[in-house]
Every structure is written in structure tokens, then in C-alpha cells.
């Protein structure tokens, strides 16, 4: 039961993330890109930039910021997956970036968008 609730929370968070990004002017190109190496939550376009968005959703802030879950290891995996995705595209993107989008659901929905995220060593 707990696994289904977590999956539903994540799915709801990604739906909210798509709306948030589109409201900010990005065009969502793909959701949940999967390959043998992992998954990218959202791939979007911001002008001529391909944006790879990691979405972290938490029900509350009791356990800290959802963005704390974006580690150096996670960022390295996203870079690898971004390269795999880009290599399969016919379109050329002259620039890329990785964004993190944290969402806290309660007591009200809050968004924490970090464009071009860098993780300290």
C-alpha cells in the first residue's frame, strides 16, 4: 500500500511540475524517458536549450527540502541519461541544462525551482 501512495504522490508531483514549467514558458517534450541506465522525469525546451528536470515531491516539509535528494550521484546519472536522450534526437540543441524542481504538497502546494542546478562537492 505504501508503495502505491508514494507512486501516486510522485505522479501527482510530475503533473504539477509540467503545469509549473509550461506556465514558466517551457515546452515539455517528453515525460518519464526510460532506458536501461535509468529514467529522466521531464525533458523540456526553453528556447533552444534542452532542459532535463528532476522532480522531487514530498507530502510535507517535515523531513526537509525535497531538493536535498538531488545528490552529486543523482546529478551524474541525469547527465548520462541526458546524453543518451540527446544522441537519439534528430533535432540539435545548442545548449543543455539540468533543473531541479521540488514540490511540497501540504499544507499548500509550494514549488522550489532551481534552474541549472549544481551540487556542491
Q: What is the pLDDT of residue 6?
A: 72
Is the pLDDT higher at 105 or at 118?
Answer: 105
Q: What is the pLDDT of residue 11?
A: 85
List, for residues 36-81, the tens digit of each pLDDT value. 999 999 999 999 999 999 999 999 998 888 999 899 999 999 999 9
Q: Tell me, yes or no, whether 120 lies in a domain.
A: no
Strand order across the 49-58 sheet = 27-35, 38-46, 49-58, 95-104, 110-114
List, for residues 2-22, the tens digit of each pLDDT value. 677 777 777 899 999 999 999
Q: How large is the C-alpha radius of gyration of the chain?
A: 14
Strands (E), 36-105: 38-46, 49-58, 95-104
- Report, as an integer, the average pLDDT of 19-37: 97
Q: What is the pLDDT of residue 99?
A: 97
Give Cα 30 to chain centroid, integer Å: 11
* Range(s) of the domain holding residue 29: 1-104
CATH of the domain at 1: 3.40.1350.10
Buried b (16+ CB within 10 A) or exposed e, 30-65: ebebeeeeeebbbbbebeeebbbbbbbbbeeeeeee
Q: What is the mean pLDDT of the chain?
A: 92
Q: What is the pLDDT of residue 2?
A: 67
Q: Tell me, yes or no, whether 94 lies in a domain.
A: yes
Q: Tell me, yes or no, whether 30 lies in a domain.
A: yes
- Report, as an integer, the average pLDDT of 91-113: 95
Q: Tell me, yes or no, whether 109 lies in a domain.
A: no
Residue 1, pLDDT above cutoff 90: no
Q: Tell me, yes or no, whether 51 lies in a domain.
A: yes
Q: What is the pLDDT of residue 112?
A: 95
Q: Tell me, yes or no, whether 82 lies in a domain.
A: yes
**Domain count of the chain?**
1
Q: Tell me, yes or no, whether 121 lies in a domain.
A: no
Q: Tell me, yes or no, whether 93 lies in a domain.
A: yes
Q: What is the pTM of this model?
A: 0.92
Amino acid at each position: 500500500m505504501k508503495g502505491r501512495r508514494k507512486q501516486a504522490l510522485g505522479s501527482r508531483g510530475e503533473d504539477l511540475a509540467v503545469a509549473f514549467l509550461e506556465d514558466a514558458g517551457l515546452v515539455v517534450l517528453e515525460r518519464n524517458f526510460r532506458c536501461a541506465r535509468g529514467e529522466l522525469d521531464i525533458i523540456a525546451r526553453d528556447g533552444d536549450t534542452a532542459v532535463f528536470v528532476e522532480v522531487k515531491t514530498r507530502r510535507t516539509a517535515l523531513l526537509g527540502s525535497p531538493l536535498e535528494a538531488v545528490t552529486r550521484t543523482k546529478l551524474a546519472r541525469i547527465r548520462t541519461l541526458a546524453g543518451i536522450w540527446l544522441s537519439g534526437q534528430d533535432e540539435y540543441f545548442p545548449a543543455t541544462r539540468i533543473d531541479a524542481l521540488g514540490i511540497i504538497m501540504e499544507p499548500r502546494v509550494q514549488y522550489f525551482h532551481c534552474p541549472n542546478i549544481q551540487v556542491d562537492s
